[in-house]
Amino acid sequence: MPGPPTHQRDRRSVWRPSAPAKLDRRQSRLIFKQMVASHLEEGLLRFSRRRQLVKYAQKMGIVPFEANLIIAQAQYEAGHLIKPDVKFSEELTYDAPADLETMTRPERWPAWFKLSFALLVAILIDLLVIQSFFR
């Protein structure tokens, strides 16, 4: 009986990928950070792309919280973080000082608070009246 045709390969000779290379913690984080930096060079990192990066980080053995920290660090180093317009050294000023007298004046209370307070007082009075009937 003749053997298999010469144009067919033996299945054992076909290259198959072996087990994925194991990276230590530092290497996987460094590679992930470089991936994020390359995406930041393209411009703004959209939320959908960020989710994809976090999923890929999980495949590399990085937990999502740590992946988000690495992304934030890469954004900070690339200068992509939005800087606040408010200067924290500026001192806040108020129209009038808040003290007990100004806070307890009912004419300064908002309408929703006045209505809620009145409803609460009415409920308490009703409960006292009902309780007095059952004694």
In the structure encoding, which two tokens stand for residue 16, read together? 């198959």
What whole-number distance in Å separates Cα of residue 27 and Cα of residue 68? 17
- The predicted structure's pLDDT at residue 3: 55
- The predicted structure's pLDDT at residue 42: 83
pLDDT of residue 9 exceeding 60, the answer is no
| pLDDT per residue as tens digits for the range 10-23 | 555 555 656 556 77
Q: Which residues contact 32 (CB under 8 A, 6 or more apart)?
A: 53, 56, 57, 60, 62, 67, 70
- The predicted structure's pLDDT at residue 133: 87
- CA atoms 87, 91, 93, 98: torsion sign: positive
In the structure encoding, which two tokens stand for residue 115, read together? 């209505």
The more confident residue out of 18 and 9 is 18
Question: Euclidean distance between the first and final Cα of the chain, in Å?
Answer: 109
pLDDT of residue 59 exceeding 80, the answer is yes
- The predicted structure's pLDDT at residue 8: 54
List the chain domain ranges: 21-78
| pLDDT per residue as tens digits for the range 63-109 | 999 999 999 998 888 876 666 555 655 666 666 666 666 666 767 77
Name the nearest CA neighbour of 103 among 112, 113, 116: 113
Mean pLDDT of the chain: 78
- The predicted structure's pLDDT at residue 111: 83
What whole-number distance in Å separates Cα of residue 68 and Cα of residue 50? 8
| pLDDT per residue as tens digits for the range 26-51 | 888 999 999 998 888 888 888 999 99
In the structure encoding, which two tokens stand for residue 107, read together? 């004419």
